[in-house]
Structure 1
């Protein structure tokens, strides 16, 4: 009877140790089996002129638009121009914020209708607190159409030809195709070239004549 009583605490202790081991082994498995939280998709937010509410584009629902907007700014170099155009020459402004997993990372100011071509301004203060140098950059010629396609209220631009997302080139203006204008310009350039050549020939001739006269005087 005494042996049975002594064996009882030992059996209870063994059962508790086995249960603890089983819990320890099953802990990591349960943690690994737990589903990982789903990250928010990447995207862009756009605010600016004539936009009553921000445009919120996400990669899972608007992948083409998001990629096109990101392509407008992803190529910018480390440094840009310190001075930009005059305020009256910039036109409407649109601030684009890039998001990664729902968190803002970068911000840029886009001016698609700036005089002399689209412009981009990158502020030094960025949402991700990265060290960035403020600067102005020339933007892609497709900026206006990309923003319009994304939902920005801009008039359609017919003076650009799309060369793929983020590409494009300016269409030749109609006035530049005027034959009369081209001929007049060409004749003017030819006349200036002829006058320049005549001037050079006269200088060379005068120099040679002076050298010949000096040599003749010395040989007498």
Structure 2
């Protein structure tokens, strides 16, 4: 009889432990899935007024790299077949997006084009991926983004509206508030510790119950 009761309690404790651990795994999975992807290593910018390429890297110029990439990372699969007249485009700046040391994408930006900034994505890209050449309306803050990154452009009135690409900050708010990610990490750690404490309490109570029943049966 004592053995049956002991086996039953062990089974109950094991089931409770498995349920708690499954909850912990389910809670941790979304956290891992939501982990941000590593940012590209940087961008190279060439064009009018630059005697040599402007090389920006994430480890030293993270905010500028993010802001420049933000100018081109929203383009759709296809753009307009033709753009403004050459005389209306103004200075051209070629942006090459890097992953590690390897160029992955290239774009031509025209921040001072008449009618608003323009961008052109060539069909020929550094990687083998096939894309369709196309023209796109650029973000209204393109000129200021490039200027603050080091491109010799005249100062423009600061614009926080992103134009056709959407309204966003020139430098994303996440970059300006790194403490938010730290607070989130500590919150996740605190919940994990509470979950582990619950597991220990369940096991302790189960073992205490088994010991108490065995003690009563053996008297």
What TM-score, normalized to structure 1?
Answer: 0.56
1:114 to partner: Cα distance:
0.3
Q: Distance in 1 between the 2:158 and 2:97 partners?
A: 28
In structure 1, the residue matched to 2:145 is 146
In structure 2, the residue matched to 1:129 is 128
Larger Rg over CA atoms: 1
Structure 1 residues 80 and 131: CA distance shift in structure 2, 3 A:
same
Structure 1 residues 89 and 152: CA distance shift in structure 2, 3 A:
same
1:25-174 equivalence runs, <5 A: 42-158=41-157, 160-161=159-160, 163-165=168-170
1:159 to partner: Cα distance:
6.2
SS at match of 1:61: helix
1:165 to partner: Cα distance:
2.5
Runs of 4+ displaced beyond 4 Å:
none
SS at match of 2:64: helix
Q: Distance in 2 between the 1:114 and 1:121 partners?
A: 12
Query: Are 1:98 and 1:106, in contact at CA under 8 Å, matched by a contact in 2?
Result: yes
Higher RCO, 1 vs 2 (CA within 8 Å, ≥6 residues apart)? 2
1:160 to partner: Cα distance:
2.9
Q: Distance in 2 between the 1:86 and 1:166 partners?
A: 31
Q: Distance in 2 between the 1:135 and 1:80 partners?
A: 4
In structure 2, the residue matched to 1:213 is none
Query: Are 2:160 and 2:169, in contact at CA under 8 Å, matched by a contact in 1?
Result: no
1:66 to partner: Cα distance:
0.1
1:106-158 Cα offsets, whole Å, 9 max, x none, are 00000000000000000000001210000000000000000001100001101
Q: Which runs of 5 or more residues in structure 1 are unaligned?
A: 1-40, 168-220
Q: Distance in 1 between the 2:128 and 2:52 partners?
A: 26
Aligned length: 129
What TM-score, normalized to structure 2?
Answer: 0.56
Cα root mean square deviation, aligned: 2.1
1:79-127 Cα offsets, whole Å, 9 max, x none, are 0000100000000000000000110000000000000000000000000
Structure 1 residues 166 and 134: CA distance shift in structure 2, 3 A:
farther
SS at match of 2:87: helix
